[in-house]
Amino acid sequence: MTTTAVRLRLASGPDAVGVARRGLDSLANQVGSATLNDMRLLVSELVTNSVRHARTSEGDQLELEISFSSQMVHVCVTDHGPGFEVSARTPDDDPGSGWGLFLVDQLADRWGVDVNGTTQVWFEIER
């Protein structure tokens, strides 16, 4: 059985990442501290990507939804941007940025991007 633990609508802008991270505080007793720390990092990366790359205006809404079961935690960030194609980093990429999805790939057990009128970037961490 999956339970939605957090559902936040965030105004796209500089405060979105902090609000999203604080939104995870209610999960402290439901997931272990290592999982919660990984979730905070990955949520920060996904929300930052949404704010920076969705081509929406400051104040437009994005959504953070976190659900869990006894086996896994599922996190999804949704925005109204045009979406993107997932591509591997290349040696020509800027070494100072663009590491968010690399971190998601390294720390999450599964992740993906779904584009269907909205862009949803999600990840799952096994418990």
Q: Which of 125, 119, 99, 101 is nearest to 12 (CA)?
A: 119
| 98 vs 105, more confident | 105
pLDDT value at position 53?
A: 82
For the question of whether the overall pTM of this predicted structure is more than 0.85, the answer is yes
Whole-number percent of the chain with pLDDT over 70: 87
Residue 18 belongs to domain spanning: 3-126
Pairwise CA distance, residues 50 & 62, whole Å: 8
Q: Residue 99: CB partners within 8 Å, gap ≥ 6? A: 45, 89
Question: Does residue 97 register a pLDDT over 70?
Answer: no
pLDDT, tens digit, 9 for 90 and up, residues 51-75: 988 877 776 899 999 999 989 999 9
Q: The CATH number of the domain where 12 resides is what? A: 3.30.565.10
pLDDT value at position 35?
A: 94
Q: What is the total count of domains within the chain?
A: 1
